[in-house]
Structure 1
Amino acid sequence: MIEEYVETIWQGEVMGAKGVSKKGGKWKIVIAVIAVICVIGVFGGHKSEKSATTDDSSEKTNAETVLESQKESTDVSSEKSEADASSETDKPAADSSTSEEKPETKAKKEAVPTEYKNALKKAQTYSDKMYMSKQGLYDQLTSEYGERFSEEAADYAIENVSADWNANALAKAKQYEKTMAMSPSSIYDQLVSDYGEKFTEDEAQYAIDHLND
């Protein structure tokens, strides 16, 4: 655009020079060329300053972005390190607790006498197969006509046997009803009798209440 402007001025001055003296026309051309050069310098300076300003702004923005990224990366690394440290601190405590319990549990199992273990096995069989009451089971384990376990072994067996006494009473009541055709009242008396099944009154009543379920 500027080159076209210079060429226009040059042509204008040349055309004007035909009507004046050769010397005077030459000076006008020189002055016009100098003016054009000044204009070019001004526009070029503004363009350079604008480009420099844009470059500086771009460099500043890039630098700020890099600093922010580095800061975020540092914060994340710091948080991760703290979390890892906390996890490592808690882990030994849990492992220590577990290692302390295992020998204790093992020693407890080994400390149970063989007689106690056998009494428990026998009690579980009587409960599962014959639906005996808690008191009836104890008497059977300690009776001289029964299993003849010591009272301590029988107590251990009763405390550790897996049994639902209400369910046992109900199962026994249904046996009496089916095989002996007994009335609910007679079944109740048989369940609570000291010469019968020796269930508690609550257990016997549960059995009667659910006899027809």
Structure 2
Amino acid sequence: MKKVFKLGCGGFLALIILVIIIAVFSDGDTSEVDSDTKVETATEPKENAAETKEAVKEEPKEEAKEDNVPREYKSALKKAEMYAETMQMSKAGIYDQLISEYGEGFPKEAAQYAIDNLEHDWKANALEKAKSYAETMAMSDSAIYDQLISEYGEKFTAEEAQYAIDNLE
């Protein structure tokens, strides 16, 4: 059975933006930069030497934990972070996009891992979406709220949507 997704004007706009973002960020370069790598210098005070040694002892444990995470799970997390940061999507919206056969096609387990490990301010995303609807679509507060919580729209929680409406200027 095929699922039919209903997209409102905002959803269609989000889909177009998503396609553009994927095209821009998909340059074929799969190299990664480890932002957690620490570079020690010889000018470090000796009083911090004990702390530095302790940090070095703890780092391999963290790396070992990350090494046990399947590559596809890590990819799902990176993609989820992109959706959250660039498209201001909701947690549920990102999950659905990650598992959709018309979206990313990740297994449900990888998508759930991504959602469980994604730290983001969902209320801020709801507010940004609300501002976009208010400015570009001239929608009423009640229509924006409905779009934010709709299962066919943005899929924010009622609390996130209400925060957005309460903080619209």
Q: Would the TM-score normalized by the shorter structure come out above 0.5?
A: yes
What's the counterpart of residue 107 of structure 1? 64
Is 1:211 paired with 2:168?
A: yes
Give the counterpart of 1:126 among 73, 80, 83.
83
Greater mean deviation of Cα atoms: 97-106 or 137-146: 97-106
- Deviation track 1:130-180 (CA, whole Å, cap 9, x = no partner) reads 110010110000011110101111111112223110000000000001111
Give the counterpart of 2:113 among 139, 156, 169.
156
SS at match of 1:171: helix
Determine the C-alpha separation between the residues in 2 that align with 1:160 and 1:170. Answer: 22
Name the larger-Rg structure: 1
Change (3 A) 1:99 1:129: closer
Determine the C-alpha separation between the residues in 2 that align with 1:99 and 1:129. Answer: 34
What's the counterpart of residue 127 of structure 2? 170
Determine the C-alpha separation between the residues in 2 that align with 1:187 and 1:209. Answer: 12
In the TM superposition, residue 103 of structure 1 has moved relative to its aligned partner by 3.1
Show structure 1 runs of 5+ residues with no match.
1-90
Determine the C-alpha separation between the residues in 1 that align with 2:55 and 2:81. Answer: 31
SS at match of 1:169: helix
Determine the C-alpha separation between the residues in 1 that align with 2:108 and 2:62. Answer: 25
Show structure 2 runs of 5+ residues with no match.
1-48
Please give the TM-score of this superposition, normalised by the length of structure 1: 0.53
What's the counterpart of residue 157 of structure 2? 200
In the TM superposition, residue 101 of structure 1 has moved relative to its aligned partner by 3.0
Determine the C-alpha separation between the residues in 1 that align with 2:131 and 2:113. Answer: 29
Change (3 A) 1:103 1:195: same
Please give the TM-score of this superposition, normalised by the length of structure 2: 0.66
Determine the C-alpha separation between the residues in 1 that align with 2:163 and 2:67. Answer: 39
Is 1:183 paired with 2:140?
A: yes
Determine the C-alpha separation between the residues in 2 that align with 1:132 and 1:195. Answer: 13
SS at match of 2:104: coil
SS at match of 1:211: coil
Higher helix share: 1
Determine the C-alpha separation between the residues in 2 that align with 1:98 and 1:206. Answer: 39
- Deviation track 1:1-36 (CA, whole Å, cap 9, x = no partner) reads xxxxxxxxxxxxxxxxxxxxxxxxxxxxxxxxxxxx
- Deviation track 1:50-86 (CA, whole Å, cap 9, x = no partner) reads xxxxxxxxxxxxxxxxxxxxxxxxxxxxxxxxxxxxx
Determine the C-alpha separation between the residues in 2 that align with 1:153 and 1:113. Answer: 9
Change (3 A) 1:99 1:184: closer
Determine the C-alpha separation between the residues in 2 that align with 1:100 and 1:181. Answer: 56
Superposed CA RMSD in Å reads 1.9
Higher RCO (CA-CA < 8 Å; seq separation 6+): 2
